[in-house]
Amino acid sequence: MNYFSSDFKLGILGGGQLGKMLLTDTRKFDIQTLVLDPSGEAPSRFGSNAFYKGSLMDFDTVYQFGKMVNLLTIEIENVNLDALDKLEEEGLPVYPSPKTLRLIQNKGRQKDFYVANGIPTSPHLRFVGLNELRNSLEKDELEFPFVWKSAQFGYDGNGVKICRSALDLVKLPDVECIAETLVPFKNELAVIVARSASGEVKTYPVVEMEFHPEANQVEYVICPARISEAVAQKAQEVALKVSEAFNHVGLLAVEMFQTEDDQILVNEVAPRPHNSGHYSIEASYTSQFENHLRAILSLPLGSTESKVAGIMVNLVGEEGHEGQVFYENIDKIMAIDGVTPHIYGKRETRPFRKMGHVTIVNEDMSLARKIAEEVKNSIRVISVQ
């Protein structure tokens, strides 16, 4: 297939920052792209060959969009799957497949899938709603503490709550959910697997999420993870097993826990480029976005090795700030060698809104880590006064 400066058209469902970064590589290869997003202000409204505003959950909108392209991918999981099923039936390649997306869209189904495929994950119970969960507690099938997760539409910490007593249940929404055993862990790790339609597979190095000591929030994504070679190998093996079980095409980001006794438990997956792989733009021989493209287009996968150590810091809107964004001290961090800000292109900041990220690369990991802290302590995403 001739993708380069040709009539071939790639459709992307979703026009957020992941889509925007993917477009960097479609432009590099001059592959035509069509983007669909519900917001006219989406970061991907520029850089594609054509941008369409429309609902990703509406059958007709997604189906009609799919009829205009030669291959369809996503940058967000919550899309109309019936439309994808029909498009796939009619012969359109859809990567990731709607079958995988259906498994992933529902956390209960996703967990059941791991169990069925012998993939290590923390024990869980599924509930249609809060009442069923309460009954389970009364019958002592479920015990405190546990991790409550909404089965659908949760992201970035939304739809997740650690429940230590009945008090924690009061504010939970009455939706389909799961309860997971709270497993103490040393590290939160992630491995991105690239798998092409032809079956070629490559894994990126294991990355480590470093949390703020108090605020239980990821502060840094660090590549490579500062873990033993044995644990890294185990994490990569588990990630490969997950990718194979899904028969996945494209990128699959596998988030995992390293338990106190060095077991690897799969937490959840994202079937697309992922926040934990942003470091790859500057640090890797091939960025996650380029490898997603290569994988879905059945092109040879690029090297997933790193040129240098990489650390990623998310830029989220400060509390107490809403309105036209201002990146305070961005010039200060840009004066440091190996520091690259990525600004997603959202004009309006809101507390905790993901507005961008900063990558820090260095030959020396400990120096990169020091600089990352300096970056984190300098830049602030605030509103124009």
Residues at the binding site are 107, 149, 180-183, 188, 267-268
What does the alpha-carbon distance between residue 221 and residue 251 come to, in Å, rounded to a whole number?
Answer: 18
Position 68 contacts its own copies (CB under 8 A): no
Query: Taking contact as CB under 8 A, which single stretch among the options 19-27, 108-116, 207-215, 237-245 is the one that binds its own copies?
Result: 19-27
Least distance in angstroms from the C-beta of 299 to its own copies: 6
Q: Which residues are annotated as a binding site for ATP?
A: 107, 149, 180-183, 188, 267-268
Please, which of residues 294-323 interact with its own copies by CB under 8 A? 294, 299-300, 302-303, 305, 307-308
Which among 95-103, 218-226, 270-278, 286-294 is the span making contact with its own copies, rule CB under 8 A?
286-294
Longest dimension (CA), the chain: 63
Task: Name residue, tokens 């079958």.
Answer: 99
Environment class of residue 176 by beta-carbon count within 10 Å: exposed (0-12), middle (13-18) or buried (19+)? middle
What is the Cα–Cα distance from 193 to 201, expressed in whole angstroms?
Answer: 7
Q: How far is the CB of 84 from its own copies (least distance, A)?
A: 26
Is 199 a binder of its own copies (CB under 8 A)?
no
Question: Applying CB under 8 A, does 147 fall inside the site for its own copies?
Answer: no
Window 38-67: residues binding its own copies (CB under 8 A): 43, 46-49
Closest distance to its own copies from the beta carbon of 124 (Å): 40
In the complex with its own copies, the residue whose CB is nearer, 182 or 301, is 301
Q: Does 155 bind its own copies (CB under 8 A)?
A: no
- Taking CB under 8 A as the binding criterion, the range among 25-33, 158-166, 206-214, 250-258 that sits at the site for its own copies is 25-33
In the bound state with its own copies, the residue whose beta carbon lies nearer, of 133 and 330, is 330
Determine if 149 is a binding residue for its own copies (CB under 8 A).
no
Burial label, 175 (beta-carbon count in 10 A; 0-12, 13-18, 19+): middle
Nearest-10 Cα torsion for 294, 298, 299, 305:
50
338 near its own copies (CB under 8 A): yes
Residue 36, C-beta contacts closer than 8 angstroms, at least 6 positions apart: 11, 12, 13, 14, 15, 52, 53, 54, 56, 61, 62, 65
Buried b or exposed e, range 189-225, using 16+ CB within 10 angstroms: bbbbbbbbeeeeebbbbbbbbbeeeeeeebbbbbbbb
Q: State the Cα–Cα distance between residues 208 and 227, nearest whole angstrom.
A: 8
Answer for which of 117, 158, 329, 340 binds its own copies (CB under 8 A) is 340
Q: Would you say 82 or 348 has its CB closer to its own copies?
A: 348
Query: Which is nearer to its own copies, 80 or 291 (by Cβ)?
Result: 291
Residue type, 61: T
Asked if the bond preceding 120 is cis, omega within 30° of 0, the reply is: no
- Round to whole Å and give the CA distance between 264 and 256: 6
- Using the minimum distance from each CB to its own copies, give the nearer residue, 31 or 266: 31
Among 36, 325, 371, 375, binds its own copies (CB under 8 A): 325
The one-character DSSP state at 259 is E
Binding mask 342-371 for its own copies (x = CB under 8 A): xxxxxx-------------x-x--------
Q: Give the N- to C-terminal CA distance of the chain in Å, as an integer.
A: 52
**Full DSSP string of 167-196:** GGGTT--SSSEEEEE---EEEEEEEEEEE-
Which of these ranges, 157-165, 207-215, 220-228, 327-335, lies near its own copies under the rule CB under 8 A?
327-335
334 vs 358: CA distance, rounded Å: 10
Tell me how far, at minimum, the Cβ of 319 lies from its own copies, in Å: 19
Q: Using the rule CB under 8 A, is 384 a contact of its own copies?
A: yes
**Is residue 175 within 8 Å of 127, Cβ to Cβ?**
no
Stretch binding its own copies (CB under 8 A), from 21-29, 92-100, 150-158, 184-192: 21-29
List contacts with its own copies (CB under 8 A): 2, 4-6, 20, 23-24, 27-30, 43, 46-49, 285-286, 290, 294, 299-300, 302-303, 305, 307-308, 324-327, 330-331, 334-335, 337-347, 361, 363, 384
